[in-house]
Amino acid sequence: MTAVEFPEQIARTRMVTARAVLQGQADLRTYPYRLLAVVSQHGIGGGKVSEAVAAAEVLGQFGWDLVNISEFASNKIVYAFLRRR
């Protein structure tokens, strides 16, 4: 299980891990910004993309829309960028 990601940490970095979202360990109720990055570092190949998209789907239930998803080749991390409705 991943560690709880606290609202202050998420607001400071404007990022949350996909794993924390999927495991219910991220609290976005007081997140003050309209844009958010979901980071996926786990999985092999398409697993990171799948994890990021799954987290975006979960957040969609709470008023977030997926804007873009990208894998940065330099560090093999997938970012899903979301906007609050």
2-6, 50-54, 59-63, 80-84: which range is least confident on average? Answer: 2-6
Cα-based distances in Å from 30 to 7, 26, 34, 55, 77: 7, 11, 11, 18, 26
pTM: 0.89
Supply the pLDDT for residue 47. Answer: 87
Taking only the tens place, the pLDDT of each residue in 42-52 is 766 668 899 99
Delimit the domains of the chain by residue range. 7-84
Q: What was the pLDDT predicted at 50?
A: 92
- What's the whole-number mean pLDDT along residues 57-65? 97
> 7-84: which CATH topology?
Translation Initiation Factor IF3 (3.30.110)
End-to-end CA distance of the chain: 30
Asked if residues 12 and 31 have their Cβ atoms less than 8 Å apart, the reply is no
